Amino acid sequence: MSGATPPSRGLVGFLDALRDAQMVVGWAADPKDRAARPVIRLMSGTEVLAECTADVARDDGNPGFRLRAPMPLAPEDFLEGRVRVRALLPGHQAGTTLAMTRRMREELEGAAGWEPTARPVAEAAPEARPGPAPPMPAPPAPSSPEPRPAEPFQPPPSTWSAPGWVPRPPAPGERPEKLRAAPSAPPAPAASPATAQPAAPVAMALPALGPDPDPPLPPPLAPMQALARLAEAAGRPVLHLLVPARGSVLGGAASPGLAALEELAASRPLLARDWVPLRHAFARLPQPATLWRLDGCSLSVEGCAALLTTLLAVLQLRYPKATGDLAGAASLIARADLGALPRRDLPATSASPGRQAFLGVSVAETEPALPEALFADLPTPRAMGPALPGLEAWSTVAAPLPWRVVVLAEPGLGGSAEPARIGWWLRRMVAECVISEALHIARPQAALGPEPDLVLTLAAEPR
């Protein structure tokens, strides 16, 4: 048909530099046709701020561009995802969001006063497993002499340098901060700089708790409650996420009431104070129906991105000092530009049939085609240890959040195989990420033993 839209074609390219606050320099090419000259657009949301053609000759043979913005741009505009540069072929609707080179990212971070996300290569050696990520800082104590009641979600304090979250190095003659260890652990011998090795995680001493005096809860709240009790005694932060079903959001979007499990969770203070209101957050989005796949329970790529955006918003409220790091994590989600990406058919599975009949017409289930090249300017996450069924562990030296995060999920909700799973994003956001799909059977001590900086529980609302 003459009026048919041409099929989308993936482009390759990078942003090389931001010069004089207004000139964006880079290149973009069509791998299938090197003579093609893509159109380059500077965008803020859906608004096109400036446009040019990639027709500048380069030594590497790729078509380059120099795109002038209509106003001065700050480094944070790129680092926090407020603006992006897209490349597309003339006559094609879908485009490719261009990532920054590592050098450009380092230059912008330096100009913005951020701590660098990329660490020295020596720290990223495959044989050297990073030690525990530094804990999230607690807000400063009030000046009032009256005793302050204990607040939820307050991890142990540490020493921090502004504006980043990288620990301050000890001054000359100052002893570095010791690792938090069990009381029975003997002190480690001092190591010379030539023989010092990365510290291994130290298991923390967990208190023994008696039986829960409250009536038992149904799953998945029962393991959440057990973990919350132990985490409170150990001083570790926990957040609980319950993925709502599509029917409970679309059918009750105008109702302020709680779902059945939410009402039970609200009756337990330990759960209520660390509960992430996903159902209410989803109901306030412009198109909540797109957050689930056709089965109405499994999250789509858009739904997983909305879950993580809500999680980062909660962390922002809890930890306002972490604004820069949390903005860096949010910029990874903003890179995806889900509404502008071409879509691909989902493979059929037992949970998702792939194609369904609607009024006699076969409908294919699709999702945004998110490429791994979206994060090509960042080091690749490294798997730690052998892969076990339902258990993953990742480390990323350039992650914007220098934390160790443990995710306890119900079967089918964790993992990192696809962008509709929380692990696909978290392994790039945090320094260390451990994901277990054993929420229903895991002992709380297993999640808190390696001193995590944050524990997430992830369950699904029953159909």
* DSSP 8-state assignment for residue 282: H
Compute how many other C-beta atoms are within 10 angstroms of the C-beta atom of residue 454: 22
Q: How many domains does the chain have?
A: 2
Backbone phi, psi, residue 355, to 5°: -130, 140
The residue-averaged pLDDT of 366-390 equals 81
User: 78 is in which domain, residue-wise?
Assistant: 12-112
**Nearest 5°: CA angle at 365, between 359 and 366?**
140
Instruction: Give the end of a domain, one of 112, 134, 165.
Output: 112
Q: Say whether both 87 and 228 belong to one domain.
A: no
- Tell me, what's the pLDDT at 28? 92
This prediction's pTM: 0.61
Q: How many whole angstroms separate alpha carbon 403 and alpha carbon 325?
A: 10
The residue-averaged pLDDT of 192-204 equals 40
Domain assignment of residue 176, yes or no: no
Q: What is the mean pLDDT of the chain?
A: 76
Q: Say whether both 250 and 376 belong to one domain.
A: yes
Backbone phi, psi, residue 408, to 5°: -105, 110
User: Over the stretch 402-459, which tens digit does the pLDDT of each residue have?
Assistant: 899 999 999 989 999 899 999 999 999 999 999 999 998 888 888 887 789 999 999 9
Domain assignment of residue 153, yes or no: no
Q: How many whole angstroms separate alpha carbon 373 and alpha carbon 188?
A: 43
Domain assignment of residue 28, yes or no: yes
Residue 158 has pLDDT above 60, yes or no: no
Instruction: Give the end of a domain, one of 77, 112, 147.
Output: 112
Lowest mean pLDDT among 12-26, 155-169, 436-450: 155-169
- Tell me, what's the pLDDT at 197? 38
Cβ-contact 435, 415 below 8 angstroms? yes
Q: Say whether both 105 and 225 belong to one domain.
A: no
Burial class (CB in 10 A: 0-12, 13-18, 19+), 240: buried
Q: How many whole angstroms separate alpha carbon 238 and alpha carbon 320?
A: 17
- Tell me, what's the pLDDT at 409? 95
Q: How many whole angstroms separate alpha carbon 122 and alpha carbon 296?
A: 46
β-bridge partners, 364: 355
Domain assignment of residue 133, yes or no: no
Q: How confident is the model at residue 242 (pLDDT cuts 50, 70, 90)?
A: very high
Compute how many other C-beta atoms are within 10 angstroms of the C-beta atom of residue 54: 24
- Tell me, what's the pLDDT at 359? 57
Backbone phi, psi, residue 107, to 5°: -65, -45
Q: How confident is the model at residue 174 (pLDDT cuts 50, 70, 90)?
A: very low
* CATH number of the domain to which 94 belongs: 2.60.40
Q: Say whether both 232 and 86 belong to one domain.
A: no
- Tell me, what's the pLDDT at 356? 58
- Tell me, what's the pLDDT at 128? 35
Regarding predicted confidence, which is higher, 254 or 43?
43
Q: How many whole angstroms separate alpha carbon 452 and alpha carbon 449?
A: 8
Instruction: Give the end of a domain, one of 112, 137, 169.
Output: 112
- Tell me, what's the pLDDT at 177? 32
- Tell me, what's the pLDDT at 257? 59
